[in-house]
Structure 1
Amino acid sequence: MSATTPTPLTVSGMKASAAWGSKKARPIYIGFDGQGSVDLDMISLFPDHTWKHRANGLRPDLVQLLADMHPGFIRFPGGCIVEGRDLTNRYQWKNTVGPVERRKGIINRWNTEFAHRLTPDYFQSFGLGFFEYFQLAEDIGAEPLPILNCGMACQFNTSEVVAMPDIDAYVQDALDLIEFANGDPSTKWGGLRAAMGHPEPFHLKMMGVGNEQWGPQYIERYKVFQQAIKARYPGILLVNSTGPDPNGEKFDFLNDTLRRLHADILDEHYYRNPEWFLQNATRYDHYDRGGPMIFAGEYAAQSDKVVSVNNRNNWQCALAEAAFMTGLERNAGVVRMASYAPLFAHIDGWQWAPDLIWFDNIGSYGTPDYYVQKLFATNKGDATLALTRNGQPLAGQDGLYASAAIDTASHEIILKLVNTTAQAQSPTIRLAGIRKSNAPATALVLTAAEPGAVNSLDNPTAISPVAIKMLCRGKTITPTLGPYSFSVIRIKNQAIDL
């Protein structure tokens, strides 16, 4: 048997079990009778049960955990993976769309990055590509935020850059992606989207130019992207790199330069120890409200140190992130978006920790950090309120951190209170806007007996929200905040003065 044209091969009669797979799967052997030769280019086996039964779809339990957070956006395909160790091996979105069997795979950018876990056989088939990312965002009601290569490979590796006379191809990729996402089916790339089963646009509103690039070479290339994209699509917001660190020479140069260039959104990354997050809860209190918006694009507290194999998703890290996030919420006028990173990790196939959601071939679970993110995302409100002590934001006094918002649709005040100390505290909070006394309130509380506690596949909800009823008497509420606790309190009232 021989063939000169690649043809998809369907193996029928195979039934997926109720679970996704087995913890230790065995190989499947495909044999052919007769004489001849067979060239196999790509073999893919998918169960019928995927999220929304999408062909070539995603694991339903993983997407359900993500959907339960009600995220406002999804950043994809990630960070450094868009850069590649060199430009030849960079992520190119056009190679990830169209028929799956014709997508052009590459060696994964992380194959030999970490000496503690080398994976030289780590390839990407792009069964999960840009169409699937857009579709996933739409399925869970999130805005898509694609990140594209800006003509620079990872600066921690080769630091290869495309010559400026050759940058046009990279810019054209960005313009074509907007057409793929939003264009009419009569256009080239809008037509491909329609042919893949989605004639309606994906309503793309923003795009990232580069990931963690830095220095004058990034600015030089960003300017070309900015000019071309804004000329054709003035409504598209551009997300711009401020480098891999939240301070220092690289950050200061990009922060100052991009502000002078009237950038739309500045992407700040911080992987630091829990103490850094506590100390920086007021980071955005004095940012320029008339300048670019901020995207806290990648952050996670590190229990040991960055890139350490000993990092764990423990309660101390999650609690520090909750304290920091009260500062993000308090400054919603300047912080447009925020996202924990990385999102998923396989228990037997990871190189980086911590990660938000862990899984094996059968099950999955959310970490304590996941439940912090979920409580913030599902209790946002639509306007922030001032919550102060002695005229200052409550951000570290007596180890307490707090923010407040109002949900006008449900007539509720939402308080987020973090106690980072080993002692219970009962602060009295005066609610100046409430008219009616004895308003009912509900608290969702996250806590653990000790800071090193974690969740696991065997005990996935060891640290998860517990609901408590309480009452707001008069115009005050005095909640008891347990040691090492994060509480979200919703106070119901039919009449609230703003």
Structure 2
Amino acid sequence: MKTITAWLTGACLSAGTLTAQTTQVFTVKANQLKTPVQKTMWGIFFEDINFGADGGIYAELVKNRSFEFATPLMGWKEQKQNNANGSILIINRGEQVPNPRFARFTVRSASGYGISNEGFRGMGITANNQYDLSLLARVPEGNVQLRIELVNAANEKIGETSLTLSGKDWKKYTASITAKATEAKAKLNIWFEGTGVVDADMISLFPKNTWKNRPGGLRADLVQLLADMKPGFLRFPGGCIVEGKELTNRYQWKKTVGAINEREVIVNRWNTEFRHKLTPDYYQSFGLGFYEYFLLSEDIGAEPLPILNCGMACQFNTAEVVPTEELDPYIQDALDLIEFANGPADSKWGKLRAQMGHPAPFNLKLMGVGNEQWGEQYIERYKLFAKAIKEKYPAVQLVSSVGPNPDGPLFDYLNPTLRGLKADLLDEHYYRSPDWFLKNAKRYDDYDRNGPKIFAGEYASHSKGVGNSENINNWQSALSEAAFMTGLERNADVVHMASYAPLFAHAEGWQWTPDLIWFNSLQAYGTPNYYVQKLYSLNKGTHVVPMTLNNEIAAGQNGLYANACIDSVAKEVIIKIVNTGATPQTSEVAIEGVKKLAANATAEVLKNGDLQQANTFAQPAGISPQQETIKLKGKKVPVTLAPYSFQVIKVKML
């Protein structure tokens, strides 16, 4: 068994001297409502990193479907059987169009010539499921038809269909394939039958079984993991991806809406960011664009929180800025986005939303100005954004950056400056060690109750150090986050929003660790950190109530961290207790201020004796909540706190 000694403070180490017979008494005053818990308290941070969008939640199986990568045939491979004769030519229309390239196939043999696409580290194909193929094509000369195959890693056929092409004008063609076998590393083969010339573009393959069965939609199992959390908000599209390495490859929301084939493909800024995980085939098709983000938010019951570029590229890279006198187009993008989300269907941008299939407004209430910016140049630009947005849309709450760190000179400048500007929400980020999370459980206890509210926008406990490729989502990191989150929830009058980051990671395509959810072409699982987040989100209650240990808040005494809420709708007391110690601890929770309680409480417990343990594809639920029933003694809840455990206890108020 691993020990926790290396990451506990001296005060916590005393937990090891306790015996199982030492009873510690917590007190919950259920009738003293300290503060409401915001519906947005626990949410989701999404960024297209680690193949989170293309190759991840966006269910497209074809990589480089429109030949727009810097290497136009990346992901594709020419196929020739029996000395077949044919060739590929990439043509650039030379027009002012978002995606100017297409492929011209000249076929000189009646059969045996084709192309293959490898997908995103392989195509995940499931037996008996249907897969929908589409492409834009024309036949300038000759008579050529298509035979389409799905093949497994051994190049054995597991599905087939055909398409008849005709005419010299561009048309959209569709066909379906039913898979005969399950394969994690499938490929798509397209064979040309006949001779002549075929022009092709937007060659696409989607599973029929997408989220809500939307054609060209999202990967159902990944969205389900998000929906199961019942998040209060969805922040999108990131992250540093908003900024871009340079302003030329920043995220521009207007280029991500409208027809799919008119969304400009650009390189993903994470493709060569880390030398330990170069991914030169990482691009953004924007099939998952701002409309889809809004729709996803609505689907899972989350408030949408878009983050917009404020005229600054990533300050860790080029640190390019737009002169303030040239910032108007960036500010107009923000104003237009609010109209896209909230405007009537007869407004310019509201009309586009309606044409895309959503006449009703999305009811946008939150917007971020910049991502992780700092310095005077950020404040200059933030003030211009805030003035314009508040004048036209005063009800929209703005999220502002206090830099990449929770302390230090950048934070020390931005924090008081933005408070002086009466900012709405300050976005604090913490990628720190497990020990930091334990020591900072009281971080917000003394924050100004009348100042800006806090958005804990990006946080994760890093077991090996920030940016270290050896970070894993082990139980140690998740347990320290659970302890820290008692402090976030206890201070719900100050902390209105919080989200772990990053969200997704492809098992073979990741760049950054740790991450909340891991997936491959066929499977996905939640980490221990995911289950911590989920337990908080599903059990946030409506109001924080006092919970003490020996008349003090429980934030490290004997390695224990705790907080309590009530749910005034469900009429429940909700108690969260974390034991970071290496020994079991016997405790009792005395609930005061209620007339009567149910005879039994329910508990969901996360625990593991090995702090280095993590979930895997082979054991996806190795560390996951276990259900328990606790028999009350009047208004007291007897609880044995297992070593290295986090539990949520719910007691009905009668």
Question: TM-score normalised to the size of structure 2?
Answer: 0.73
Within-5 A mapping of 1:448-487:
448-487=608-647
- Match for residue 23 of structure 1? 184
Residue 66 (1) aligns with residue 210 (2) = no
Asked whether the equivalents of residues 269 and 298 of structure 1 are also in contact (C-alpha less than 8 Å), the reply is yes
DSSP-derived class of the 1:158 partner = coil
Residue 44 (1) aligns with residue 233 (2) = no
DSSP-derived class of the 2:314 partner = coil
- Match for residue 202 of structure 1? 362
Deviation, structure 1 residue 55: 2.2
Deviation, structure 1 residue 47: 1.4
Asked whether the equivalents of residues 598 and 653 of structure 2 are also in contact (C-alpha less than 8 Å), the reply is no
Residue deviations 1:239-283 (CA, integer Å, cap 9, x gap): 000110000000111101000000000000000010000000000
Counterpart of 1:400 in structure 2: which amino acid?
L
- Match for residue 242 of structure 2? 82
- Match for residue 251 of structure 2? 91
Deviation, structure 1 residue 15: 3.2
Gaps of 5+ in 2: 1-138, 142-166
- Match for residue 10 of structure 1? 173
Whole-Å separation in 2 of the counterparts to 1:5 and 1:383? 66
Residue deviations 1:269-322 (CA, integer Å, cap 9, x gap): 000010000000000001111000100000010010111111000000000000
* Percent pairwise identity: 60
Moved more, 427-436 or 357-366: 427-436
Within-5 A mapping of 1:433-444:
433-436=593-596, 439-444=599-604
Counterpart of 2:196 in structure 1: which amino acid?
Q
Deviation, structure 1 residue 14: 2.2
Whole-Å separation in 1 of the counterparts to 2:481 and 2:424? 26
Asked whether the equivalents of residues 438 and 473 of structure 1 are also in contact (C-alpha less than 8 Å), the reply is no
Q: Relative to 1, partners in 2 of residues 1:197 and 1:385: Cα closer, same or farther, differing over 3 Å?
A: same
Which segments of structure 1 move beyond 6 Å, counting only runs of 4 or more?
3-6
Counterpart of 1:268 in structure 2: which amino acid?
E
- Match for residue 244 of structure 1? 404
1:261 to 400, 415, 421: 421
Whole-Å separation in 1 of the counterparts to 2:547 and 2:280? 52
DSSP-derived class of the 1:427 partner = strand
Whole-Å separation in 2 of the counterparts to 1:201 and 1:58? 21
1:159 to 309, 313, 319: 319
Deviation, structure 1 residue 166: 0.9
Asked whether the equivalents of residues 399 and 421 of structure 1 are also in contact (C-alpha less than 8 Å), the reply is yes
Residue 359 (1) aligns with residue 519 (2) = yes
- Match for residue 485 of structure 2? 325
- Match for residue 334 of structure 2? 174
Deviation, structure 1 residue 437: 5.7
Deviation, structure 1 residue 438: 6.0
DSSP-derived class of the 2:313 partner = coil
Deviation, structure 1 residue 391: 3.0
Residue deviations 1:171-215 (CA, integer Å, cap 9, x gap): 000001001101111011100000001101111000000000000
Residue deviations 1:78-99 (CA, integer Å, cap 9, x gap): 1000000000010100111001
Asked whether the equivalents of residues 437 and 473 of structure 1 are also in contact (C-alpha less than 8 Å), the reply is no
Counterpart of 2:576 in structure 1: which amino acid?
K
Whole-Å separation in 1 of the counterparts to 2:462 and 2:300? 29
Whole-Å separation in 1 of the counterparts to 2:198 and 2:632? 77
Counterpart of 2:586 in structure 1: which amino acid?
S
Whole-Å separation in 1 of the counterparts to 2:168 and 2:544? 60
Whole-Å separation in 2 of the counterparts to 1:432 and 1:311? 43
Whole-Å separation in 2 of the counterparts to 1:433 and 1:5? 79
DSSP-derived class of the 2:230 partner = coil
Deviation, structure 1 residue 119: 1.9
Asked whether the equivalents of residues 2 and 39 of structure 1 are also in contact (C-alpha less than 8 Å), the reply is no
Whole-Å separation in 2 of the counterparts to 1:470 and 1:230? 51
Within-5 A mapping of 1:72-471:
72-436=232-596, 439-471=599-631
Between Structure 1 and Structure 2, how many residues are aligned?
491
Deviation, structure 1 residue 33: 4.3
Deviation, structure 1 residue 326: 0.4
Q: Relative to 1, partners in 2 of residues 1:442 and 1:103: Cα closer, same or farther, differing over 3 Å?
A: same
Whole-Å separation in 1 of the counterparts to 2:269 and 2:520? 22
Whole-Å separation in 1 of the counterparts to 2:587 and 2:231? 31
Counterpart of 2:174 in structure 1: which amino acid?
V
Q: Relative to 1, partners in 2 of residues 1:17 and 1:278: Cα closer, same or farther, differing over 3 Å?
A: farther
Whole-Å separation in 1 of the counterparts to 2:394 and 2:442? 33
Whole-Å separation in 1 of the counterparts to 2:340 and 2:168? 27
Whole-Å separation in 2 of the counterparts to 1:468 and 1:215? 50
Gaps of 5+ in 1: none
DSSP-derived class of the 2:186 partner = coil
Moved more, 430-439 or 271-280: 430-439
Residue deviations 1:31-73 (CA, integer Å, cap 9, x gap): 3744345253x32211111000122211111111110000000
Deviation, structure 1 residue 430: 1.7
Residue deviations 1:411-455 (CA, integer Å, cap 9, x gap): 110000000001001122221123226632001100012101111
Whole-Å separation in 1 of the counterparts to 2:228 and 2:633? 33
Whole-Å separation in 2 of the counterparts to 1:132 and 1:81? 17
Q: Relative to 1, partners in 2 of residues 1:162 and 1:364: Cα closer, same or farther, differing over 3 Å?
A: same
Moved more, 113-122 or 78-87: 113-122
Residue deviations 1:98-156 (CA, integer Å, cap 9, x gap): 01011011110111100101122321111111111100010111110001100000000
Question: TM-score normalised to the size of structure 1?
Answer: 0.96
Asked whether the equivalents of residues 598 and 652 of structure 2 are also in contact (C-alpha less than 8 Å), the reply is no
Whole-Å separation in 2 of the counterparts to 1:314 and 1:118? 24
Whole-Å separation in 2 of the counterparts to 1:18 and 1:137? 34
Q: Relative contact order (C-alpha < 8 Å, sep 6+): which is higher?
A: 2
Deviation, structure 1 residue 5: 11
Moved more, 434-443 or 197-206: 434-443
Counterpart of 1:38 in structure 2: which amino acid?
D
Whole-Å separation in 1 of the counterparts to 2:634 and 2:563? 21
Deviation, structure 1 residue 10: 2.6
- Kindly indicate which of the two structures has a greater share of residues assigned to helix: 1
Counterpart of 1:154 in structure 2: which amino acid?
C
Counterpart of 1:460 in structure 2: which amino acid?
P
Q: Relative to 1, partners in 2 of residues 1:126 and 1:428: Cα closer, same or farther, differing over 3 Å?
A: same
Whole-Å separation in 1 of the counterparts to 2:647 and 2:207? 40
Q: Relative to 1, partners in 2 of residues 1:135 and 1:438: Cα closer, same or farther, differing over 3 Å?
A: closer
